[in-house]
Amino acid sequence: MKIFNLLLSVFLFSALTAGPCLALDLHTKFRKQREKQRETYTKDTGNIPDGVMIPELIPLLYQGGEKLKYDISWTGGVKIGEALIEIKKIAGKEDTYNLKVRITSKNGAFSLVYPVDDRHITTVQGPERLPIRHESWQKEGFGYRSHKITEYNQKTGKYTYWSNDKPPRYFTVSGKTQNEFSGFMASRLMPFQPGKPFVVPTWADKMRVKVVVETGQTERLKKTILGEVDTIKIMPILTFSGTYDQRGDTTIWYTNDKCRVPVQVNSKIVIGSLNATLVGWENPACGIYPPVKRY
């Protein structure tokens, strides 16, 4: 889910250029707002069931071969970057897939002064498509570089985390979990019923977080790369920070059909919002919409 708050770092850079006092004020307001939201949404999720993927949707949406490309813009339509998501089946391994995400400031307004090129690969396995490994390479600005690996043993609950050249860290987790990337894909296959939220247990901020996902109303969008489509609005309540600080209000518009194409995403931030608009897509298993190959 966080993949649509991808380039918040670019926005924060622009805030910093406005002056230290303004940047500090924005950070303080942002922190207080998110702490209040975290308190609200973590009080009690005990009565909300864990989401379960609909078996009939797995061959359509999680068998490999799907690509999604997004233009990411700030309020007013200022493009700040692009995101490419791809699901690939790993040859020779049963029910094992790579979820690849690449986030760049390519063709964005700040690409020359704050270049971003982040790559993430989450390997998922089994009928529940649970993560067994995540590896990331991040290049942000002219100085920040990182290489991180997390290995998830879903049977024992033992997780191992490496960051750059530091010694590994070990964690024990109770219960199965998605990660920030696989959680987005898994929730896409779960039942969307207004008034019936579900939980996606997610490993983020080095802890197991219960992400509540709410279903909104249907809405017809006239201008998408797929044409005029009926959509359903989904709101994951992101109370964690994660790789990209993404706590806040996020809405995803999925096509209201078996393909559940995420055609648009909006995430509110301190000033304005970030928007991700689908500009390229293909999924041979869908059968409803023709591919739009703009990669």
CA atoms within 13 A on the CB side of 228: 2
Tokens for 261?
Answer: 């194409």
Residue 21 has pLDDT above 80, yes or no: no
Q: How confident is the model at residue 2 (pLDDT cuts 50, 70, 90)?
A: very low
pLDDT per residue as tens digits for the range 182-234: 999 999 999 999 999 999 999 988 899 999 999 999 999 999 999 999 999 99
Torsion, Cα 216 219 221 222, to 10 degrees, reads -170
**Residue-range domain boundaries for the chain:** 2-282
Q: Apex CA 24: angle with CA 138 and CA 118, to 5°? A: 10
Global pTM value: 0.84
What are 80-116's pLDDT values in tens digits? 999 999 999 999 999 999 999 999 998 998 889 899 9
Say if residues 294 and 106 touch (Cβ distance below 8 Å).
no
- Tokens 């704050």 label which residue? 114
Determine the pLDDT at residue 237. 87
Q: Which two tokens stand for residue 55?
A: 């078996």
Of 121-135, 166-180, 241-255, 274-288, which gets the smallest average pLDDT? 241-255
Question: What is the pLDDT at residue 183?
Answer: 94
| pLDDT score for 244 | 36
Report the 3 state secondary structure along 117-168. Answer: EEEEEEEEECCCCEEEEEEEEEEECCCEEEEEEEEEECCCCEEEEEECCCCC
